[in-house]
Amino acid sequence: MDKSTTKVRGDESPFKGKTGLQRIWNAFVFSLHGLASAFRHEEAFRQEVLLAAILIPTALFLDVGGLGKAMMIASVVLVLIVELLNSAIEAAVDRISFDQHRLSKRAKDIGSAAVFLSFLNVAVVWGLILLEKL
């Protein structure tokens, strides 16, 4: 079956048909909208952006090697990524229902645990790299 005769199924996004540079541009714009939305609506994300604004320059100015700097920065960026995913999970769960449900609680708790582990990762990475300099 050629492309001209295929139809988009009812459960697929009509935006999936974009290709090439248009798809890349759309993904970039949607990503900016997602970052802006998270910053506007998620207090935790704003706090973590502030923390990143402090820790990333600090990592760049510390007397550690390039790999150490990269690991320190990556661990901080990972917190932001995990927080975005956690916020997306929470928004999707809340979109379905505000009613308390054990599965909704489980989804939100697991997302929170992922953020916690990403913070633990920052502490371990930064701690190990800084201890090496002592």
61-99: per-residue pLDDT in tens?
999 999 999 999 999 999 999 999 999 999 999 999 989
Pick from 16, 11, 38, 36: nearest CA to 26 = 16
Q: How many CB atoms lie within 10 A of CB 60?
A: 11
Catalytic residue among 12, 48, 83, 132: 83
pTM of the model: 0.84
The overall average pLDDT reported for the chain is 91
Sign of the C-alpha dihedral computed for residues 96, 10, 29 and 113 taken in this order: positive
User: CA-CA distance, 69 to 59, in Å (whole number)?
Assistant: 6
Helix (H, G, I), strand (E, B) or coil at 52: helix
Structural domains of the chain, with CATH: 43-132 (1.10.287.3610)
pLDDT band at 10 (very low <50, low <70, confident <90, very high): low
**Is 83 in the active site?**
yes
